[in-house]
Amino acid sequence: MHRTLAEHIRGLEQRINSITAQIMQEDNPEKRNCLESELRAVESAITQYRSAFEIENRSSANSCS
């Protein structure tokens, strides 16, 4: 299955929203900590995908010139 960077980013954004909602509803501190760790991991991944997306867009723009 091949997904574009934009599709990966959208999926990660949805995951961030989902985890954030779960954190808000979670009363168990251990589970909340686990969710917060997962959130940090997803935020890190989305930062990498966004950087790659910017590089890809710059490369595409430069090759069309």
- Give the mean model confidence (pLDDT) for residues 30-58: 95
- 17 pLDDT above the threshold of 90: yes
Q: Which of 45, 34, 43 is nearest to 16 (CA)?
A: 43
Percent of the chain with pLDDT over 70: 95
Q: Mean pLDDT lowest for which of 7-11, 17-21, 37-41, 60-64?
A: 60-64
Note the pLDDT of residue 40: 98
Instruction: Tell me the two tokens of residue 12.
Output: 């990660």
Give the domain ranges of the chain.
28-65
Instruction: Give residue 62's pLDDT band: very low, low, confident or very high (50, 70, 90).
Output: confident
